[in-house]
Chain A
C-alpha cells in the first residue's frame, strides 16, 4: 500500500457538481500526475460538505484547508503552490465575512456549532468506495447486530435512543419497528423513503450521495429486527447522482457479502432494490409510495391498515426516511444513551436542515435538537445578505408554516414547531427577508400543492384550488372583504377532511401567514397595497415632475406606449396602460421614476 501524505477532497455533491467539480477533479488528477506527486497525494471525490453557497469546494488534508469557489484554472496553482511547496493559496481560502482567511474546516463558524451524525461521512469519505466506509466503522453495527444481538434487542435499543422519524411526522422509530415485528409472517419488507419532494429540501439527497452505505447498513439492521429479507429504496429519478451511487454501493456490498445470503454467517439474508419515482410529490406519502413500488398509480389510501400490518404487496412493511436510517448504525455502535444525551426532552439527537432563500450560507447543516432558529440562521447561516431585515422562515416546505421574528428563539423540535403553527417537516428551511410578500409566499406554496394533489379526495382536489383562486385574486389587487375569513374556513375544513398528509397540511402556509402577517393580507385587500413592494399588480409607477428633465428615454423603452409627454418637459405614465414591467425605472438616469 502506498502512503499518501496528503488527500485532496473534491466535492461531488449535486451543488458542486453543477458548478463544474467533475472538471476540477479531472484536472487535479492530471496536474498532480504531471508534477510527479501521484504516488504521495490522493485525490478523492466525496459527497456534500454542506456549504454549497461557496462551491465548488476543495479540501486539502492533513491541514484541512478549505478552498471555496474553485475554478478549473485555479487547479495548477493549488498543485504547484500548496501540494508541492506547502504554501496555501490564500486567495482561494474560504473567508468568513468578518474574519481573516487561513481557516481550516473545523474553525469555520458554519461547522463549529454543528453535530454531524447523519452527515458524519458526507464530505469525508469517497462514497463510491466501500473500504473507506468500512474504515470509519462502517458495517460494524450490522456485524454487532447479527452476531451479538437478538432482533428484540435492536428494537429496544432504538426505543431507548428516542430516535423519531426524520421525514417530518416524528413517529418513534423503535415503536414503528415493534408494530411491524409483532405482526406474524415470514414475508416482510423494509422501505427507505428517498422521495424527497419539498421545494428547497436536499438533506436526503446529500446523505444518499455522500454516504449511501449508511442507508444500506441501516436497512439490513431493520430487516433483521422485524424479520424482513427484502428492502426497497424508493428514490426520485431527479436525483441521478444519488441513484448512481446507490447502485454502486449495493453492488459493492453484495460483492463483500454484506448484502445477500447468510450475512456474517448468521443465517440472515437481506437484499435491496432501488425503485425510481417519477417526481410526484404525493409519492412521499407512505401509502402512495407503497402503491408506486407495487407498480400501481401513486395514490394514497386511508389508514388503517398501517403499512406495519399491510404494506408492500399487502405484507407487513416498515417505512423510514433516509435521514432516520442514517442515524441507526451510529446508535447501535455508540449506544442509546449516547444518542439520548443530545437534544431536548422529547426529541433526541440531531436534525439536518437545508438552508435556502435569503441567507448567506446556503447549504446543509446538522444541529442538535433544541437549537434555536436564531443560532441556525445567524450563527451558522451567516445571517441575511445585503443588510436586509429578517422577516420569516418557512420550515416544512409546502406542508409547514412560517416562523416570524418573535419566535426566533424557540428551541427547535417537533412539538415546539407545531405549537407555533409550523412543523418540523423533512428539514427544508427557507428564509425570507423584508422584500418577500407573505401573501405571495403562501400563494407560491399552495400553487405547488394544487399542482401535486393527486385528485383522489375532494377536500384536497377542490378545496386547495378554491384557496389558490382567492390568493391569486388578492395578489392581483382584486381581493374582497371576507376573503381572509373564507381562507381560514376552507383551510380548517381541508385539514379536517383530506385523505392524506399532503392535503391535511396543504393549508398550513396560508393559515400561518394569516396568523402572523394578517396585516399584509389586509393591506392587499383593503388598501390595494403590497407592503413588501413585491406584488406586481399592486405596484404603481409615477414620474416625479420635479426630477424629470424630459429626455424621453423612458417613453422610448416603454413596451406598452404608456408614457407620453413633450421633450424637455416632464413626462407622465398612463396608469391604465402601464404593465408594471419596470423598464422605465432602469432606463431613467435622473432617478425621476418612483415605484410604490
Chain B
C-alpha cells in the first residue's frame, strides 16, 4: 500500500459488497415476489433491476423482494421508496421497462408516470 488513494480505491470497490448490510436510508426497489408475482413474471423483472443497478454502479440503492401486495391482477408490481418521498408503485412491469425506470426515476428523480398504478388503472 503506497497511498491513501490506493486504499480509497479498494474501499469504494468493496463498499458495494457491504452496503446491503449497512444502508439504512437509501433508495429501495421492492419487487412483489409472491406466487402471483412469480407467475406473472416477476423474476426476470427482479434480475433486470439487479443488472441495471449493477451496470450503473449505483450507490445507496437496494433491490429486494416482498410478498403479495394485494392487487394480484396488476402483477408484477414494483414499488420504489426514496427517502423523504412518497412511494411510487409500478404495475404490470416487464424487463424492458426497467432501464427507463432506473434512469428516469432512480437516477433523475422523475417517476415514469405511464407505468404507475394510478395511470394504468384510470386509463
Q: Which A residues lie at the B interface, using CB under 8 A?
A: 1-7, 9, 40, 42, 61-63, 84-87, 124-125, 131-132, 134-137, 139-140, 143, 147, 256-258, 263-265
Question: Which residues of chain B are within 8 angstroms of A256 by Cβ–Cβ distance?
Answer: 1, 10
Q: Is the CB of B21 within 8 A of A7?
A: yes
Q: Is the CB of A5 within 8 A of B34?
A: no
Q: Is the CB of B17 within 8 A of A135?
A: yes
Q: Is the CB of B11 within 8 A of A137?
A: yes
Also in contact, A5 and B1, with CB within 8 A (given A84-B33, A132-B14) = no
Q: Which of B10, B34, B53, B63 contacts A85 (CB 8 A)?
A: B34
How close is B68's CB to chain A, nearest CB, in angstroms? Answer: 9
Q: Is the CB of A264 within 8 A of B67?
A: no
Cα separation A201 to B8 with both chains bound (whole Å) = 36
Q: Is B2 in contact with chain A by the CB < 8 A criterion?
A: yes
How close is A3's CB to chain B, nearest CB, in angstroms? Answer: 4
Q: Is the CB of A86 within 8 A of B62?
A: no
Q: Is the CB of B64 within 8 A of A135?
A: no
Q: Is the CB of A62 within 8 A of B33?
A: no
How close is B23's CB to chain A, nearest CB, in angstroms? Answer: 7
Q: Is B123 in contact with chain A by the CB < 8 A criterion?
A: no
Question: Which residues of chain A are within 8 angstroms of B11 by Cβ–Cβ distance?
Answer: 134-135, 137, 140
Instruction: Give the nearest-CB partner of B21 in chain A.
Output: A61
Q: Is the CB of B33 within 8 A of A135?
A: no
Q: Is the CB of B66 within 8 A of A5?
A: no
Cα separation A124 to B15 with both chains bound (whole Å) = 13
Also in contact, A264 and B1, with CB within 8 A (given A3-B63, A87-B67, A135-B15) = yes
Also in contact, A143 and B7, with CB within 8 A (given A40-B47, A40-B50, A131-B13) = yes
Q: Is the CB of A1 within 8 A of B18?
A: no
Q: Is B54 in contact with chain A by the CB < 8 A criterion?
A: yes
Question: Which residues of chain A are within 8 angstroms of B47 by Cβ–Cβ distance?
Answer: 40
Cα separation A551 to B47 with both chains bound (whole Å) = 73
How close is B42's CB to chain A, nearest CB, in angstroms? Answer: 10
Question: Which residues of chain A are within 8 angstroms of B54 by Cβ–Cβ distance?
Answer: 1-3
Q: Is the CB of A6 within 8 A of B64?
A: yes
How close is A375's CB to chain B, nearest CB, in angstroms? Answer: 25
Cα separation A3 to B60 with both chains bound (whole Å) = 12
Cα separation A42 to B4 with both chains bound (whole Å) = 29
Q: Is the CB of A124 within 8 A of B18?
A: yes
Question: Which residues of chain B are within 8 angstroms of A125 by Cβ–Cβ distance?
Answer: 18
Cα separation A3 to B2 with both chains bound (whole Å) = 29
12 contacts between A and B (CB under 8 A): A3-B53, A7-B20, A40-B46, A85-B34, A86-B67, A131-B17, A132-B18, A140-B4, A140-B7, A264-B1, A264-B7, A265-B3
Q: Is the CB of B18 within 8 A of A136?
A: yes
Cα separation A147 to B63 with both chains bound (whole Å) = 38
Cα separation A6 to B65 with both chains bound (whole Å) = 9
Cα separation A1 to B19 with both chains bound (whole Å) = 14
Mark interface residues in B18-52 (1 if CB within 8 Å of A CB, else 0): 10111100001000111100100000001100110
Q: Which of A6, A137, A257 has the most CB of B within 10 A?
A: A6
Q: Is the CB of B7 within 8 A of A62?
A: no
Q: Is the CB of B21 within 8 A of A9?
A: yes
Q: Is B16 in contact with chain A by the CB < 8 A criterion?
A: yes
Q: Which of B1, B3, B16, B65 contacts A86 (CB 8 A)?
A: B65
Q: Is the CB of B1 within 8 A of A257?
A: yes
Q: Is the CB of A5 within 8 A of B50?
A: yes
Cα separation A42 to B17 with both chains bound (whole Å) = 9
How close is B86's CB to chain A, nearest CB, in angstroms? Answer: 20
3 tightest A-B contacts by CB?
A: A3-B54, A135-B14, A86-B65
Query: How many A-B residue contacts, CB cutoff 8 Å?
Result: 100
Q: Is the CB of B2 within 8 A of A62?
A: no
How close is B45's CB to chain A, nearest CB, in angstroms? Answer: 12
How close is B84's CB to chain A, nearest CB, in angstroms? Answer: 18
Question: Which residues of chain B are within 8 angstroms of A5 by Cβ–Cβ distance?
Answer: 20, 46, 50, 62-65
Q: Which of A63, A257, A264 contacts B4 (CB 8 A)?
A: A264
How close is B69's CB to chain A, nearest CB, in angstroms? Answer: 11
Known: A7-B21, A62-B28, A136-B18. 9 other contacts (CB 8 A): A3-B53, A4-B17, A61-B21, A85-B33, A85-B35, A86-B32, A131-B13, A137-B11, A143-B7
Q: Which of A42, A86, A131, A265 contacts B14 (CB 8 A)?
A: A131
How close is B6's CB to chain A, nearest CB, in angstroms? Answer: 9
Instruction: Give the nearest-CB partner of A4 in chain B.
Output: B20
Also in contact, A87 and B13, with CB within 8 A (given A7-B20, A124-B21) = no
Instruction: Give the nearest-CB partner of B55 in chain A.
Output: A3
Cα separation A9 to B2 with both chains bound (whole Å) = 33
How close is A101's CB to chain B, nearest CB, in angstroms? Answer: 15
Cα separation A1 to B59 with both chains bound (whole Å) = 13
Q: Which of A1, A84, A137, A139 contacts B13 (CB 8 A)?
A: A1
Instruction: Give the nearest-CB partner of A148 in chain B.
Output: B4
Q: Is the CB of B64 within 8 A of A63?
A: yes
Instruction: Give the nearest-CB partner of A258 in chain B.
Output: B1
Cα separation A6 to B20 with both chains bound (whole Å) = 7
Cα separation A464 to B34 with both chains bound (whole Å) = 67
Question: Which residues of chain A are within 8 angstroms of B22 by Cβ–Cβ distance?
Answer: 124, 136
Instruction: Give the nearest-CB partner of B65 in chain A.
Output: A86
Instruction: Give the nearest-CB partner of B19 in chain A.
Output: A135
Q: Is the CB of A131 within 8 A of B20?
A: no
Mark interface residues in B68-108 (1 if CB within 8 Å of A CB, else 0): 00000000000000000000000000000000000000000
Q: Which of A42, A86, A134, A265 has the most CB of B within 10 A?
A: A86
Instruction: Give the nearest-CB partner of A138 in chain B.
Output: B11
Q: Is the CB of B2 within 8 A of A264?
A: yes
Question: Which residues of chain A are within 8 angstroms of B20 by Cβ–Cβ distance?
Answer: 4-7, 42, 61-62
How close is B102's CB to chain A, nearest CB, in angstroms? Answer: 12
Instruction: Give the nearest-CB partner of A41 in chain B.
Output: B20
Also in contact, A257 and B2, with CB within 8 A (given A62-B23, A87-B67, A132-B18) = yes
How close is A48's CB to chain B, nearest CB, in angstroms? Answer: 16
Q: Is the CB of A134 within 8 A of B14?
A: yes
Q: Which of A1, A3, A132, A258 has the most CB of B within 10 A?
A: A3
Question: Which residues of chain A are within 8 angstroms of B34 by Cβ–Cβ distance?
Answer: 85-87
How close is A37's CB to chain B, nearest CB, in angstroms? Answer: 10
Cα separation A84 to B23 with both chains bound (whole Å) = 21
Question: Which residues of chain B are within 8 angstroms of A85 by Cβ–Cβ distance?
Answer: 33-35, 38, 65, 67
Cα separation A394 to B17 with both chains bound (whole Å) = 41
Instruction: Give the nearest-CB partner of A46 in chain B.
Output: B21
